[in-house]
Structures are given as structure tokens and as C-alpha cells.
Chain A
Amino acid sequence: MTPLLGRTLILLSLLAASSGAVVAFAAASRPRLLEWARRFAFGYAALIIAANVVMVAALVGHDFSVSYVARVGSRSTPLWVTIVSLWSSLEGSILFWGMVLGLFIGGATFATRRRHEEYMPYAIGTWLAVAAFFSFLIAGPAQPFNTVVNPPADGPGPNPLLQNHILMAVHPPFLYFGFVGMTIPFGFASAALMLRRLGDDFLQPLRTSLLVAWTFLSVAIVLGGWWAYEVLGWGGYWAWDPVENASFLPWLVATAALHSAIVVERKGTLKGWTLTLVMSSFLLVILGTFMTRSGVFNSVHSFTQSEIGPTILGFLAVALLWSVALLAGNMDRIEGEAVRIEGASREGMFLINNLLFVLFTLTVLIGTVFPLLVEAVQDRQISVGRPYFDKMAVPIGAALLFLMGIGPALPWGRATRQQVERALLPPLLTAGAVLVLGALLGATNPWTLLTLFFGGYAIHVTMREMLLPVAKRVRGGDSPGRAFVEAQLVRGRRRFGSYIVHGSVILIMAAIAVSSTMKVSAEQQLRQGETMAIGDYTLRFFGAETRQEPHRLATIAHIGVYRGEKLIRNMQPRMNQYLTQREPIGTPDVYTRFRGDLYLSVMNIDPRAQTVGLHAIINPMVGWIWIATGTLALGAIVLLIPRRKSAAGESVALEASSHPSPRTRSREPLPGDAG
């Protein structure tokens, strides 16, 4: 019964998406049909969401007649694991993908109702075409609702690694929202290209949808790193794993697009380029999906080898060629008149920013795909590892950090020498102060010192740009509280949000530089009662115990952490042996402090002889990455809060026109403006 219901819903969603796509494209010439295209979009969303509800109900109700439940369900797992199983394995994850797509398409169709009428047929058509592909994938190669004729009494449960940490319930949904969300700006960009027009009014939905997906993706990437850090036990959070790269690539391109869209808005140029970046973000998402689901790459994330690889590759090929044709055919018509861009100006810095992001993307893309290329051409196995990526990423990252200081400090258009000096010289003080502070605290690596210097510079500029409007109002007689609300939350919300995001990114980059170059680590073999020292901590091995847990055998080391004579914490790094894994998996224990984490993992442990090989690491500043990601998300939310109509006058004018309108001209003449 349940399998049949599920299959029917999937087939209906395929029908709704494919016929909706046809109707939507037809609506370009028959505007009457647009209303029907919207109905199909809502219908698709409702059907695919319903299919997911049916699957969750089957998982929670342990209905093993559904093939997916028989594969990943288990009566012994806790409820949260049962629900998380929805995306723990291949078929379910694609079903979930479909639901997220339904939410996005439904939401975007609703948000654009009665607006952008001439663009929407193409946008809805593109979204539903993408949706039709995923529904086809679910209905055919990745069908989760097959009927199991003789249902088993119980199932094996999901991949044990996914049950290891609660972050597994959070990281994948964020990633799916980030990945799938890129479909919406892709549809908008395709619409602009097919219509051969990118009006100022249409830039806003394009930018907003891109920012939504970007925010989810940013948080997802960091959550993934956090999970690796808390679970995998090697003491790091990023390994340039192909599948990590798969999420990083669209992020880089989307970040570039968010910035170039500002130039489009202010100067009316770079339209074709911006659309190329937006389209590429989506295409890289599909590439990433192929990488995780084709079984081509070796990674903690990969699902097992599957039949759906060729289907996704086919879709990727069609999407890539279609995008190239669309861009090549229509780009020239969309571009406004050429605008001269000054070198030492805000827009000049935006250009350099874009070039660096694209360079970064190509570097990571080449490093990721290169082993495949070599194997295809020479039949030789190679791997591209950390040294390559680190060597390339560190200088590019440092240059981007530098730009985060220079760019916002410079005014739009031509600037006088005096203006430039006044904008660029004072932040050198903060930069120097942070550099000295870092050196006093023991930083010696030149790249770390450089990062601290650039970071200090950028933070100074960010804070200045953020606080200037408030200061101006206070001087004008407003109370500080009122000035803040007026300047940041009512009028300058966009700049305020942008600078919160900038500040957070600066903090993240500094924390990455410090934590990756200034860690202290020690390894020692300990017998019961013995101690080892690391930093100002003393670690005492109290003993080891073995515990049988449902899916694993855990051997736990009990470690006392002392500072001086005082016991400040008990830590329990462990070694888990899962029944389905070849080698035991160490699970670290992390004691997070502001200055740095104490990270303990077990190299070997023998409960009979009561010995442990302990690997202890002091990881400075790692916790800052997680905190700054929280503030980054907050900044993005500030950016995304819809403007109230009454207060919107100024910012709408700002959004709507690339030519200075009376209102934009009357704004306070500030040295910098997040634009």
C-alpha cells in the first residue's frame, strides 16, 4: 500500500513538473498561461512534499515493505536517527532533494506572484525542467518506494558513521538547501538570458535568491568541517576532500556573483559576466552531486557506487551545453553600454575580487578533477593532496582578505589622491597592532602574520564603514540607540548586514590561519596512572573500559585534565569498532575554550593491559570559526529581511536604479558604502 502511494505521488510530481515546464515556456507567448504555470509549480511542490511525508511516516512506522525503509530502517535506532535516515542513503537523499526543490520552487513562485510577468514564464519553466529531471531520477534509477514482497522484521539501520554525532542531523539539510537553492537564481538568470534583458527590477530577486542559497551553503560547509573535527579524530576540519571541494566550488562562484551583482546594480555593467557566474554556481552544484553520487570519487561522503551516475552526468552535460549556448547566444544583447572602470575605485576592487574568486575556483576544480584526467589518459592512479591545495589557496585567500580591507575603503568612481590616502592609511594602525599582538602570542609563520595584518586592516575598515552612519547621526543630535536603529536596521540594513558578514569572514580566515599553523601536539603511550604534559595542561590516564553499544563496540579512555594540581575536566576519547567497517574508528573528545581547544584522540587502546596511545592537540582559535559562522548567518539574515514599504524608499531607489536617482544622490556622502 505505502510503496504504491509513494510511487504514485512521485509519478504525479514528474507529470506536474514536466507539463508545468511546457506550459510555463508556452506562457512566454500566451501570458494567460502563466497563472497555470504557477499552479503546476505549486502542484509539483505539494506532491513531492507529500511523497517525503509518506516516506518519513514509513520510516517512523517501520514499514519494511518499502524498499528504502528495509535498507536503512531499524527498530533499534532512536527517533532522530530514524528521521535522519531520510537522507542517509542514496535514494532517500534524492527524494529529500526533491522536497527541498519543491519548497524552493513553491516559495519563489509565491514570492514573485504578480511581478516580473515577462521574465517568470522562463524562470518557472527552467525550475520545473530541473524538477522534472529529479522526479525522473526518483521515479526510475533511484526509486525509494519499491515494494518488498516479503518484508523483513527489522532492518540494518543507516550507515553507522552518520549516527555518530547530532551534527549529522543538521549538516546535510543545510547543504541540500544551499545546493538546491541555486536552482532558483539559475532559473532567474536563464530567464534574463532568454528574454535578453536584465532590468534593474529583476536584479533584486536574482540577488536575493542567490544570497539565500549562499547563506545555507556557507553554514553547511562550516557545519561539515565541524562534524569532521568532532567525529573523525585527526584534529582538523578541512582536508580538501573531493566532496568538500564539491561544496566549496559553487560557494566560491556564488560569492563572486554576489559581488559582481553589486557592480551591475551601481554601474549597469558586467551583466553577462554576472549571469555567467550565477549559472556556473548551479552547474557546479550538479557537478558536485555527480561527484558524491556517481561513485567516481573516494570520500567519506560518497554514497556507494550507483547506477544513477550516468543519468546525472547526462543531465550535467545537457545543462552545461544549454548554458553555454544560452550565454553565447544572448550575452551581447543583455550588456548595457560599456562603462569605464577606474582602477583605484570600489568597482575596480570588485573586478579584482571576481578575478581572484574565479582563479580560486579553477585551482580547486583542476586539483579535484586532475586525478580523473590522468587516470583516463594514462591509466595511472594519482592523487592531488593537501600540499597542492594549501599552496594555491593560502596566497589567493590572503589576497582576498587584503581586498576586503581595500575595497570597502575606496569610494565608487574616480577618487582624488587625498581621498584615497585618507581612506587607506589609518587602518594600517589596527593592522600593525594585530600583527604585533599575534607575534607576541607566538605567531611566527609568515603567512599567518600576513593574514593577521590584512585581517586587522580589513576589520578596521569594516568597523569604520559600519559605525560611520551611526556616528554621523549621533553628532547630528540623535541618541546613540536611536541612531543605531535608524542607521543600521531601518535605512542601512543592507550595508550593516554585509559588513557583519565581512567581519565574520575576516574572523574565520584569521582563525583558520592561526589554528592551522600554531597547533601544538603531543603523542605518548601511557599506562594506567601515568601522565603527560601538553601546553599548560597535565593529562592523566585513569584507565580504559570497553562498552558494548547497539551498533558498535566502544573502548573508552578516561583522561583527567589538570591545570596545575587542579582537576578541571574529565575527557573520554574513544575507539569505536563498527560491525560494518574494516578498521576501528577513533572518536575524539574536544574541550572548547576561547583561546583554543584541547583535542584528545586515541591512537591505540588496550583495555586488558590498561594502556593507551594518546594523541593530544591544542588547537588555537578553532572555536572562533563556529562562532563567526553564527554571526555570518545573522548578518545574512539582516540582509534578507524584507524591507518594510514605508522605510523602503531609500533602499528601493538604491536597488532599483543603477543611475543615481534624486534620492540616492541626497544620501549622506560617506567615504564608503556597501552598495
Chain B
Amino acid sequence: MNRKVLLIGLAVVVPMIAVLALSLGRDPYSVRSPLVGRPAIGFTLQEVGTGTPLALADLEGKPVVINFWATWCVPCYAEHEVLTRVARMTQSQVQFIGVVYDDDPRKILQFLSERGSAYPTVVDQGGKVAIAYGVYGVPETFFVDRRGTIVAKHEGALDEASLINYIGTILGDAR
């Protein structure tokens, strides 16, 4: 038995297995947002078409779902349908906001008239709000509870089950 080989071997092998074992179950695609657990950053943006200003601060007391999207984003098409349906269902309890960035208002209006809308859509000119929220790609959705704290962030298109699940957490938090 060569003790040196054994010790060196174990010193390399055991920690490596340990690290790999601890890493199981990690989702390499999620970039954890440092914003989760912090107050949602306030913004005032104009509603598409009408130009009515909409301020996040005005919604305090109601849980908010902020969805970043764009008309050039193909997965957003399918997601829009889910969002609209769930938003209608939960209208009385949750406020949805669509934030469109890097897009042309005409295209947005056309998109909404073709596919319907159930909540206000605001335009993020220059993408300032998207940058403040650290949006990495569209679609991306933030869930804000009654106290204005970001509880969760979802990257990619939402399906109905997970959207309802998220809404459960922002509603449940205040009870």
C-alpha cells in the first residue's frame, strides 16, 4: 500500500465528489436576482396608446405582477395568452402590469388589439426600468407582494400552473 498515493488520491477525490454532490439540483440557468427580498424599485411609465402615466407607488397595498415582454419575442406570444387569462381570473386581488421594452408602440398596439389585453401595458422607452430590474431577456416576470417587496422572479415564458403558484405566494404572504 502506497500511503502517499492513497492520501493524495483521497485529498483530490473526496472534496470533488462532495462539491459535485452539493451542486446537484442547482439550476444553472437561473441568474439569481439580488432584488428578490428587496422593495420593488418604483417607476412611472406611460400607458401605450393613451399616454396615461402609471406609477408603481400608486398600487401599494395590492400584489403586483410585473411582466417584461416585447412583440419581437416569440415565446411572449404564448405567454400573453396565459397572462391575460389568469389576470382576468384574479383581477380583484392582483394587479398585472406589462412592461414593453425595446419596441415600437404601433406594433404593441397592433399586438394587443389582435390578442386582447386584460391589464395596463406601459412602454419602457430606452429600457431604463428593465435595466433597473436587471432584466436579462424577455419574457421575465417579477412578483411583488402587498408590502411592495419582490418575492420572486421568473425567467422565460410562464405556464398557467406556475403563474398561479407564484400568485399564491404573493397573496399568501400578507395573510
For A295, the chain B residues whose CB sits under 8 A away are: 26-28
Please indicate the chain A residues that have their CB under 8 angstroms from the CB of B28 in the complex: 295-299, 302
Contact B17 A316 (CB under 8 A): yes
Complex alpha-carbon distance, A381 and B31, angstroms:
8
B144 to chain A, nearest CB (A): 23
Question: Whole-angstrom distance from the CB of A440 to the nearest CB of chain B?
Answer: 45
CA of A309 to CA of B28 in the docked complex: distance in angstroms?
14
CB-CB under 8 A from A579, the residues of chain B are: 74
Q: Which residues of A contact B74 (CB under 8 A)?
A: 553, 577-579, 581, 584
A310 proximity list for chain B (CB < 8 A): 24
- Cβ of A376 within 8 Å of any chain B Cβ, yes or no, is yes
Number of interface residues, chain A, beta carbon within 8 A: 40
The distance in angstroms between the C-alpha atoms of A583 and B31, with both chains bound, is 16
Residues of B within 8 A of A317 (CB): 17
B residues 79-130 in Cβ contact with A at 8 Å: none
Q: How far is the CA of A504 from the CA of B3 in the complex (A)?
A: 41
From A294, A332, A577, A581, give the contact of B2 (CB < 8 A): A332
Report the bound CA distance from A581 to B74 in whole Å: 8
Inter-subunit contact A309/B24 (CB<8 Å)? yes
Check B6 against A372 for contact (C-beta < 8 Å): no
Of residues 1 to 55 in B, which have CB atoms within 8 Å of A's CB atoms? Answer: 1-3, 5-6, 9-10, 13, 16-24, 26-29, 31-32
Taking the complex as formed, is A369 at the interface, i.e. its CB lies under 8 A from any CB of chain B?
yes
A583 touches which of B3, B9, B19, B137 (Cβ 8 Å): B137
**A161 contacts chain B at the CB level, 8 A cutoff:** no
Of B5, B10, B32, B137, which contacts A381 at CB under 8 A? B32
Closest to A310 in B: B24
Q: How many residue pairs at the A-B interface have CB separations less than 8 Å?
A: 88
Name the A residues within 8 Å of B3 (CB-CB): 328
Q: Please, which residue of chain B has its CB at the minimum distance from the CB of A323?
A: B9
With A and B bound together, what is the CA distance between A290 and B73 in angstroms? 33
* A162 close to chain B: CB less than 8 A: no
- A369 near B16: Cβ-Cβ < 8 Å: yes
Collect the chain A residues with CB atoms within 8 Å of residue B170's CB: none
Docked-complex contact A328 and B19, CB < 8 angstroms: no
Q: Does B138 contact A (CB under 8 A)?
A: yes
Choose from A294, A327, A553 the contact partner of B9 (Cβ within 8 Å): A327
Compute how far the CA of A313 lies from the CA of B17 in the bound complex, rounded to whole angstroms. 8
The residue of chain B having its C-beta at the shortest distance from the C-beta of A325 within the complex is: B6
Cβ-defined contact, B19 with A376, below 8 A? yes
Known A-B contacts A327-B5, A582-B75; A296 and B13 likewise in contact (beta carbons under 8 Å): no
Q: Is the CB of B17 within 8 A of A376?
A: no
**Contacts of A321 on B, CB cut-off 8 Å?**
13
**What are 30 of the A-B contact pairs (CB < 8 Å)?**
A290-B20, A294-B23, A296-B24, A296-B26, A299-B28, A302-B28, A310-B24, A313-B20, A313-B21, A313-B24, A317-B17, A320-B16, A321-B13, A323-B9, A324-B10, A325-B6, A327-B9, A328-B2, A369-B16, A372-B20, A373-B19, A375-B23, A381-B32, A580-B75, A582-B137, A582-B138, A582-B139, A582-B156, A583-B73, A584-B74
Tell me the A residues contacting B by CB distance below 8 Å: 272, 290, 294-299, 302, 305, 309-310, 313, 316-317, 320-321, 323-325, 327-329, 331-332, 369, 372-373, 375-376, 381, 553, 577-584
